[in-house]
Amino acid sequence: MIAIVGATGNTGSAAASALLDAKEEVRVIGRSAEKLRSLVALGAEPFTGNVTDSEAMTRAFAGVRAAYVMIPLDVATPKCREYQEAVSKSLATALERARVTHVVALSSIGAQLAEGAGPVSGLHHFEQRLRRIPSMNLLILRPAHFFENLLAWLGMLRSLGIFAGLLNGDLRLPMIATTDIGMRAAESLRACDFSGVRIQELHGPCDISMNDTAKTVGAVIGKPTLRYHKVPLMIAKPAMRSSGLSADFVEQVVELSAAANDHRLAPLEPRNAKNTTPTTFEQFAAKVIAPAYLGKAVSA
């Protein structure tokens, strides 16, 4: 049995689906039984529980040989780092109690930064808690900036006709599709071919700037003149708050963006065959961004 935390999220659902396709026994863990139904229909065993509840998570990990763990996103939490710490403590306690021998953990490029990188610094402390569990083999995946993060700005694109964010337009960053992260996690969970503590960065196929993404998005939605605009904080903060983000989460995003703009949120290794994943931004934009912008269902 393999357990998947955050099974209804982007990376977790991709990992769970890949494992089910491979005929593995999978326990999917999430906050909503309703959202787990599609995976249950594919053969998964559901477990509904809160990741901050260590007793529930201990039951969720009981009898599993491997687990995928992460800190599910909560953009409405009033205290982002306190929430991350609570989840980290709960999951680490549960994994140790359940004596899970192989764990794949979702972190991020830049998680070497203990402070000054918003939620990514919270992942630094998540890694440290997991590292302290004795006799557990741990693979830490540190992926690049998610392509999916750009979906948050589609509302502004629809209403104001601009594609905008907090990053410098010419800043080139590694970017990745979350499905590729989930697939890589599934491969490692099936094989359990890691020992001790290992860190694996995932860079995506190439570095991309926000100026580049605007050109690609414009092409797939029929707006070839679309350009990226860096938004001043006095505009960006109210916009993020109005979309449901807590005040603290907004500040965390601002800090994260500043770390990226200052080149502090950077990978530790060059791109190579092992850390390069296949999905290009052009493919993602055509399959995901264009249908989302146009209000159409995304094909499987």
Structure confidence at residue 87 (pLDDT): 97
Structure confidence at residue 113 (pLDDT): 96
R_g of the chain, CA atoms, integer Å: 19
**pTM to 2 decimal places:** 0.94
Domain assignments of the chain as residue spans, ordered by start: 2-147+177-202, 207-294
How far is it, in rounded angstroms, from Cα 15 to Cα 258? 31
Structure confidence at residue 296 (pLDDT): 61
Tell me the mean pLDDT per 10 residues along the chain, length 300. 96 97 97 94 96 97 97 93 97 97 98 96 97 96 96 83 91 97 97 96 96 95 92 88 92 96 94 96 96 68
How far is it, in rounded angstroms, from Cα 92 to Cα 54? 8
What is the 3-state secondary structure of 235-272?
A: HHHHHHHHCCCCHHHHHHHHHHHHHHHCCCCCCCCCCC
DSSP-based three-state secondary structure for 200: strand
* Tens of pLDDT, residues 147-203: 999 998 888 888 878 888 999 999 999 999 999 999 999 999 999 999 999 999 999
In the block, which residue shows the tokens 């982002």?
80
User: How far from 171 is each of 4, 113, 139, 207, CA to CA, in Å?
Assistant: 34, 19, 29, 9
In the block, which residue shows the tokens 């989302």?
292
Q: Do 139 and 127 meet the contact criterion of CB atoms below 8 Å apart?
A: no
DSSP-based three-state secondary structure for 230: strand
Structure confidence at residue 101 (pLDDT): 97
Q: CATH homologous superfamily for 2-147+177-202?
A: NAD(P)-binding Rossmann-like Domain (3.40.50.720)
Structure confidence at residue 299 (pLDDT): 44
Structure confidence at residue 257 (pLDDT): 96
User: How far from 67 is each of 1, 70, 103, 186, 280, CA to CA, in Å?
Assistant: 9, 10, 5, 10, 28
User: How far from 272 is each of 51, 100, 266, CA to CA, in Å?
Assistant: 34, 31, 15
How far is it, in rounded angstroms, from Cα 284 to Cα 130? 32
Q: Do 108 and 143 meet the contact criterion of CB atoms below 8 Å apart?
A: yes
Q: Position 210: which residue type?
A: M
Structure confidence at residue 175 (pLDDT): 97
